Every structure is written in C-alpha cells, then in structure tokens.
Amino acid sequence: MHDRMEKRFPFKLPHVWSFTTYFAEGLPYTVIRIVSSVFFRDMRVSLEAIGLTSLFGIPWVIKFLWGPLIDQFGTKRKWILIMQFLLVLLFIVVAIMSPLPYGVKLIAGLLFICAFFSATHDIAIDGYYMEALDKQGQAKFVGYRVMAYRLAMMAGTGIIVTIGTTGGWFVAFFMGGAFLGILFIYHIFFLPHVETERLRIWDLLKRIFGIKVLIGSIALALIIFGIKSLFWSRFSGGLLEVLPFLRGISFSASVALGLVILLIGLALFRKRIKEVFLRDKESFYSRAFFEYMDRDKMAVAIAFIILMRTGESMLSSMVAPFMVDLGVKVHYGWLSGGVGLPFSILGAMAGGFLIAKLSLKKTIWPFLLAQNLTNLVYMALALSLAKYVTLNTGADVVTFIGSFNLFLVACVHAFDQFAGGLGTAVLITFLMRTCLDRFKAAHFAIGSGLMNVSGVFAGVASGFLAARLGYGPFFGLTFLLSIPGMCLILFVPFLDTKVETSRE
C-alpha cells in the first residue's frame, strides 16, 4: 500500500522532500551569514564590522530556548510553512532597502530579525526529518539533506553573489526571496503530513500575548532598565578595571558563554535542579532539557559539539572577504557554482554513504581531519598570493591574479567544499545520535545551538584577528583552534550504533 502511494505521488517521496526542505533550510542561513558578508564588504564596510555580523548567529545559539515549543505546539510542517512565508517577505524588504543610501544599517537590523525566523525554521525542519523517518531512514537520507544544504550554500555564494556583484544587490536579494518562495509554494502542496497536532499554535500565541506574560515582561524590562541606568555603569566600570580582558567579549559571545555556564550548572547540580523543576510531571519544557543532560558522558559530548567546528567557523567567516580582497569577487560566483557545487555534492553523498556503510566511529576522525586541513590549505594560498591581497584591498580597479593562480584558488575551493561535505555529514549524524525520541526537535536544537557557541566567539574575533595578523597567519591560527575538538574524538559517546540514545 505504501509503495503504491509513493509511486502515485512521487513528489512526496523522502528523496524529494528531504532535498527541498534542507535546501530551504540552507538558503536563508547562507544569505544571512555568508552572502551578507560579501554585500557588506562590497559596500566598503570594515573587516571589524563584518566580523561583528556574527551577531546574526545569536539565534542559532539560543534556539534551544524555544525548541521544546516546536515539539509541543502545532506540527513541524506548520512551523516550516509559517517561517518560510515570513522569510520570503523579509528578503523582499531587504532587496528594496539595498539601493538606499541608509540601507546598510537597516539591512543589518532586518537580517538579525531574519536570523530568528531562520533558526526557528531550522528547528522545525530538523524535527520534521526525525519525525518522518525511523533511525534507518535518517541514516539513509543524510546524504540527501547534506547535499541539499550544500547546494543551497552554492546557490547563495554562487548565483546570488554573482548577481549582487555584477547586476546589483536589489536583484540578488529579491532572487533569494524568489527561490524560497518557490519552495514555500511547493511545500504547501507536496510536503507530507507526518504527525498529529498536540496543541494548537494559536494556544501558544495566547500564552505569549496573555495579560500575565505582558505584565511580567514589562516589569522585567523595567527592572533591567533600572539596574542598567542606576547601577550597571558604576559596577561594570569597576569590574572592567579589575578584569580588563572583559572589554573584548562581545554581547553575542556573552550569550554563548551564558549557555555554556547554564549547561555546566545543569550538569553539576542536575539532581537537585531536576527535583525542583520536575515536580510538575507534565512539564514538557523542563523534561526536554533535563533528559538531554541526564545521560552518561554528556559533558564530553557537549564539549565535542562546541569545539568540533571552531576552526572551520573562524575560517568561513573570512573566506568571502578574503576573496574580495584577493581581487576575485567577480569570479566567486562561477567558482562556487561550477567548481564548489559538484565537489560539495560528492563530499555530501560520499560522507553519508561511508558513514552508513562503515559507521560513524570509523569515519569521524578522517572526515574531521579533512575538514580542518582546509584551513592549512587556505593559509598556503593566502601566503603565496599575499601581494595581490595588498594590491586589491579597497582598490577601485583590481589587479588580475593570473590564470594559474586563479586555478589554484579553484582547487582550494574544490577541496574546501568536498571536505566540508564530509564534515557536515559527521556533524548531522552525531547530533541526531544525541536526540531522544520524545524530544526530537528540542534536542536537535540544543545540540545545534551548542555547535554555534564556538562559531559566535570565532566569528566575532575573526575580523579583528584577520585585520591584525593578515589572512595567511590567521588561517594557520584557525587550524590550531581545531585541534582540541579532534582530540576529543577519543572520548565522545554515541559513536557506536549499539550505544543507547533513547529512553523508554
């Protein structure tokens, strides 16, 4: 019966929707986190300011806070469609703002709002994937979802960036909204219904905008404002004199640090805290957090999730500005689409296939090593082409780097995308292994939020470090920062399929 239904409605096959949903997940992230870097650099924004666009990563760090709500209210399918609709609207507004003289600051604010919608969209899609497929299916289609996500990144860095740097950023951002709009319409008609609704989304809205919540929010805001106005400047000034290194910690890094401290506190005092919060046996929200933490070796698993992409996150924050300063921004589109795209597909499919065939335990070390060797390759490229970076940074007329050097850039980009596909397949598989069946969306949100902790720190610092060290030494430093994560592979749980990852 099931086979006949799949033949009759091929557009509802997991092969198709796993691709379309993860393409839709990757596209907004790419526009917000990567395409925006090229846009801001093209608008002559400083490297330091571009590094601060890592503030856009805050929603991906703290999305665990509302992850349980996606599990409890509505369905994942409804959340996917609502977020896609809102993202399409905001991308169109960004396109309209891009030609305006004061548009850069407004676009930065709009993209920050988009980041919250995109992070919620990610929670819903990841939860939908795990809801619709059993463990075997999740492993089987991991290559499709990684490939789709990488293709979305290629569409953003290839097509949208090319249009932006050659035809104008209005058309580029509008094209991003149009891509997502087509997927939104497709999902309305063809995305399967895979779960029943526990509580309506309307019930959540009534709780959020209820009079008690509004009064409590206003009171909390007034308390925070009063403390900041009356006491904080005096207290923080004295604290900074005693601990001057705190001046270098940005707001986004503080949020990420707060998440780490929170989870450390849960780990150290989990029994006592659990007794207090779980007095209400029906507390879905509380149980989602404590059941994630209350397992053996979770502290090691959390440390690994945080550190496994530190070097890659810092590298990726500066690759686009490096290409612009190198003088190849007009070639960046075909490099991404014509070179990066096929190698990204090969890396994603090879990663998913080999993990399913050989196991995560056997593939995690070589795949992450390949991912992090990219940093050393970029270091060699930047050092060998340093004179072109000096000539072309901020230049109105760029100096061509030469055909052979352009070929080297293409080879580095190809290796970067192939190794990135392998590393992403490892990451997704490991995060799914940490999820309990009852809290799929919430636990994946916690894991992926933790993954972004190091990314926020690394991204904020990247612009300042690259500006002071130069691209070559900076890329070498990013490799050193990837070593602790690779060392933790020897101790992490969930690598063996026999390890119990769910509770009944």
Residue range 364-418, pLDDT digits in tens:
999 999 999 999 999 999 999 999 888 888 777 888 888 899 999 999 999 998 9
CA-closest candidate to residue 187, choices 83, 69, 60, 70:
83
φ and ψ at 479, to 5 degrees? -65, -40
Residue 486: other Cβ atoms inside 10 A: 18
CA-closest candidate to residue 333, choices 94, 149, 165, 150:
165
> For residue 330, how far is the Cα from the chain centroid?
26
Which residues fall within 8 angstroms of residue 117, CB to CB, at 6 or more apart? 28, 83, 86, 87, 90
The structure tokens listed for 36 are: 């925006």
State whether residue 106 is helix, strand or coil.
helix
Q: How far is residue 492's CA from residue 472's CA, in Å, rounded to a whole number?
A: 32
CA-closest candidate to residue 125, choices 79, 187, 181, 156:
79
Go through the domains of the chain in sequence order and give each one's CATH number: 11-206+279-490 (1.20.1250.20)
State whether residue 492 is helix, strand or coil.
coil
Q: How far is residue 1's CA from residue 418's CA, in Å, rounded to a whole number?
A: 39
Q: Which residue has the tokens 């959390």?
A: 302
Burial letters for 74-87: b for 16+ Cβ neighbours within 10 Å, e otherwise? bbbbbbbbbbbebb
Facing residues of 402 across strands?
A: none
Q: How far is residue 58's CA from residue 63's CA, in Å, rounded to a whole number?
A: 8
Residue 487: other Cβ atoms inside 10 A: 11
Return the CA Rg of the chain: 23
Q: How far is residue 56's CA from residue 90's CA, in Å, rounded to a whole number?
A: 15
Q: How far is residue 215's CA from residue 113's CA, in Å, rounded to a whole number?
A: 24
State whether residue 199 is helix, strand or coil.
strand
Could you please report the per-residue DSSP string of 253-304? HHHHHHHHHHHHHHHHSHHHHHHHHTTSTT-HHHHHHHHHHSSTTHHHHHHH
Q: Which residue has the tokens 């409605």?
A: 9
CB 56 within 8 A of CB 111: yes
Q: How far is CA 118 from CA 56, 90, 110, 379, in A?
A: 10, 11, 12, 32
Which parts of the chain register pLDDT below 70?
1-12, 47-48, 51-52, 136, 207-285, 337, 452, 455-460, 497-504
Could you please report the per-residue DSSP string of 58-94? HHHHHGGGTHHHHHHBS-HHHHHHHHHHHHHHHHHHH
CB 427 within 8 A of CB 313: no
Q: How far is CA 93 from CA 24, 38, 101, 124, 361, in A?
A: 19, 19, 15, 24, 46
pLDDT at 1: 40
